[in-house]
């Protein structure tokens, strides 16, 4: 490949398991360093959480999930089937073990640790996208103001305090408080119920499915083979690594990357990774609107994100802890609509399309898993929670550096999968 930077002694070939934004970004940056890549995914490019999410490249809103208020809110949500955070009352011991560990990290010291760990990812997330789009990934990223809208100035204060905490952690976020009139100008869809806002500048958004499909085409155009098959085993052998598929195929390479999102634990546990990943499922759909949408809209009180999409509005919400392969639950879609309907006017809720559920990979301590495992030559990348799209390209760049140099970048120390 022209311009390749492969270092002598580094791997010449790699298999990336997972064709979402994290896996494909890792593949792209490995190619940039001269590595021949094969990508394997059980359903194809952008089939998981990369397709239907809100499309936000918003490091300024990559706020750690594990704040103390989330624990209190989660306990109340157990008895409210329409709550944005949905935890089914099942007899799944692994789920309750995970939630117990998550609850233990819902304190400010853990929150601050996650915020500081995310700093290098957030600082370079937009720039990593620019590298991709300047070098063959033919999909736009859109720079637009993000507006958080609230029913009162008191409610807006909650987000402002979170932004203040991010600044203390080392990540100042450019933002402006909006009066009721300013909010109406910025968000013409805002109903009379919304009375205050916060505009967050310097962020971007994409059509996520289209972007990841374009990334997949770019990886293929650089010579990668993209295969559709379910991987059942990844292990080391004398010559490197072996990846086995459900169909009985065996793929050999010098290195392998497991980037299977909410399904990460199945393969990662075989390589000595003990931190579990659970599916925090999110729902989305697209609706027509009768007023212009100037940029993404965030509704923190009901935990819903809205993004301009194909002339309408993509509405995304819910954190549902269920099996990643469980069928879509229409009741969750109805709950999102019921929560947002009073807040936005001129939205054609009954004409919704592209109804979708996808599994976001969540770790109990709020930090992603990025780096080497106990199995020589095998790496993992996942567990970004709600921020996999934003942090996927920079994750791929940093992990490709580690794979090809054998040295862990400082930015990845807090994400060590063997912690």
Binned at pLDDT 50, 70 and 90, residue 160 comes out as very high
Lowest-pLDDT range of 89-98, 223-232, 350-359? 89-98
Angular region, 305: left φ>0, alpha ψ -120 to 50, beta rest: beta
DSSP-derived secondary structure letter, 326: S
Of 228, 278, 231, whose CA–CA distance to 256 is shortest? 231
User: Which stretch of DSSP H or E encloses residue 125?
Assistant: helix 108-133
**Quick check: 173 pLDDT over 80?**
yes
Residue 411 neighbours by CB under 8 Å, 6+ apart: 120, 121, 398
Binned at pLDDT 50, 70 and 90, residue 91 comes out as low
Q: What is the pLDDT of residue 76?
A: 61
How far is Cα 169 from Cα 221, in angstroms, rounded to an integer? 40
Mean residue pLDDT of the chain comes to: 93
**Quick check: 6 pLDDT over 50?**
no
For the chain, the domains span: 13-412
Binned at pLDDT 50, 70 and 90, residue 188 comes out as very high
Q: Assign 357 to helix, strand or coil.
A: strand
Of 286, 303, 297, 279, whose CA–CA distance to 84 is shortest? 303
How far is Cα 384 from Cα 369, in angstroms, rounded to an integer? 8
pLDDT average, residue stretch 99-110: 93
**Quick check: 80 pLDDT over 80?**
no
Strands 378-382 and 255-258: parallel
CA distance to 76, 110, 208, 312, 334, per residue, from 308 (Å): 32, 34, 12, 6, 21
pLDDT average, residue stretch 122-149: 97
Q: Are 353 and 285 in contact (CB under 8 A)?
A: yes
302 vs 8, which has greater pLDDT? 302
How far is Cα 56 from Cα 54, in angstroms, rounded to an integer? 6
DSSP-derived secondary structure letter, 190: B
Q: What is the pLDDT of residue 3?
A: 39
pLDDT average, residue stretch 272-281: 96
How far is Cα 165 from Cα 110, in angstroms, rounded to an integer? 13
Q: What is the pLDDT of residue 5?
A: 47
Q: Which residues pair with 148 in a beta bridge?
A: 198, 298
Q: Are 120 and 132 in contact (CB under 8 A)?
A: no
Report pTM.
0.93
Q: How many CB atoms lie within 10 A of CB 222?
A: 18
Q: What is the pLDDT of residue 71?
A: 63
Give the rounded percent of residues in the chain with a pLDDT score beyond 90. 87
Q: What is the pLDDT of residue 292?
A: 93
Residue 204 neighbours by CB under 8 Å, 6+ apart: 57, 58, 126, 129, 141, 142, 143, 144
**Quick check: 50 pLDDT over 90?**
no
Kindly state the tokens that stand for 350: 């009954």
How far is Cα 312 from Cα 315, in angstroms, rounded to an integer? 10
Binned at pLDDT 50, 70 and 90, residue 48 comes out as confident
E strand intervals along 368-411 = 369-372, 378-382
- Angle of helix 68-77 relative to helix 93-104, nearest 10 degrees? 150
Binned at pLDDT 50, 70 and 90, residue 81 comes out as low
How far is Cα 379 from Cα 191, in angstroms, rounded to an integer? 48
pLDDT average, residue stretch 258-277: 96
Q: What is the pLDDT of residue 74?
A: 59
13-412 CATH choice from 3.40.190.150, 3.30.1330.200, 3.50.50.60, 3.30.70.1340? 3.50.50.60
Q: What is the pLDDT of residue 238?
A: 86
Q: What is the pLDDT of residue 51?
A: 84
Binned at pLDDT 50, 70 and 90, residue 90 comes out as confident
How far is Cα 315 from Cα 5, in angstroms, rounded to an integer? 41
pLDDT average, residue stretch 329-336: 94
Of 37, 18, 15, whose CA–CA distance to 28 is shortest? 37
Give the rounded percent of residues in the chain with a pLDDT score beyond 70. 95
Q: How many CB atoms lie within 10 A of CB 327?
A: 8
Percentages (nearest 5) of helix, strand, coil residues in the chain = 35, 25, 35
Q: Which residues pair with 146 in a beta bridge?
A: 200
**Quick check: 212 pLDDT over 60?**
yes
**Quick check: 4 pLDDT over 60?**
no
How far is Cα 309 from Cα 311, in angstroms, rounded to an integer? 6
How far is Cα 57 from Cα 388, in angstroms, rounded to an integer? 9
């Amino acid at each position: 490949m022209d311009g390749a930077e492969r270092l002598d002694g580094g791997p010449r070939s790699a298999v990336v398991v997972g064709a979402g934004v994290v896996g494909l970004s890792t593949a792209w940056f490995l190619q940039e360093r001269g590595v021949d890549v094969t990508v394997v995914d059980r359903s194809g490019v952008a089939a998981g959480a990369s397709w239907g999410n809100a499309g936000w490249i918003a490091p300024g809103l990559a706020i750690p999930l594990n704040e103390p208020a989330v624990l209190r809110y989660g306990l109340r949500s157990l008895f409210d089937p329409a709550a944005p955070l949905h935890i089914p009352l099942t007899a799944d011991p692994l789920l309750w073990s995970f939630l117990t560990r998550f609850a233990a990290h819902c304190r400010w010291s853990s929150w601050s640790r996650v915020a500081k760990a995310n700093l290098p990812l957030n600082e370079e997330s937009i720039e990593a996208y620019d590298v991709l789009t300047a070098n063959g990934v033919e999909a736009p990223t859109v720079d637009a103001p993000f507006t958080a809208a609230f029913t009162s100035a008191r409610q807006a204060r909650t987000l402002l305090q979170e932004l203040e905490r991010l600044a203390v952690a080392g990540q100042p976020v450019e933002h402006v408080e909006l009066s009721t009139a300013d909010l109406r100008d910025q968000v013409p869809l805002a109903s009379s119920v919304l009375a205050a806002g916060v505009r967050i500048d310097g962020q971007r958004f994409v059509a996520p499915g289209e972007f990841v499909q374009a990334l997949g085409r770019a990886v293929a155009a650089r010579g990668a083979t993209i295969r559709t098959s379910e991987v059942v085993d990844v292990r080391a052998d004398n010559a490197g690594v072996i990846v086995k598929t459900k169909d009985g195929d065996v793929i050999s390479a010098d290195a392998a990357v497991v980037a299977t999102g909410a399904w990460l634990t199945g393969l990662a546990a075989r390589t000595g990774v003990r931190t579990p990943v659970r599916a925090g499922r999110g729902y989305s759909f697209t609706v027509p609107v009768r007023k212009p949408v100037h940029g993404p809209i965030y509704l923190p009180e009901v935990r819903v994100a809205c993004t301009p999409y194909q002339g309408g509005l993509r509405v995304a919400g819910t954190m549902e802890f269920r099996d990643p392969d469980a069928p879509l639950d229409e009741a969750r879609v109805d709950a999102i609509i019921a929560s947002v309907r009073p807040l936005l006017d001129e939205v054609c809720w009954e004409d919704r399309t592209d109804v979708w559920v996808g599994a976001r990979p969540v770790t109990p301590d709020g930090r992603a898993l990025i780096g080497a495992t106990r199995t020589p030559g095998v790496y993992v990348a996942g567990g970004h929670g709600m921020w996999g799209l934003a942090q996927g390209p920079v994750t791929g760049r940093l992990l490709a550096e580690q794979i090809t140099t054998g040295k862990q970048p400082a930015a990845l120390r807090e994400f060590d999968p063997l912690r």
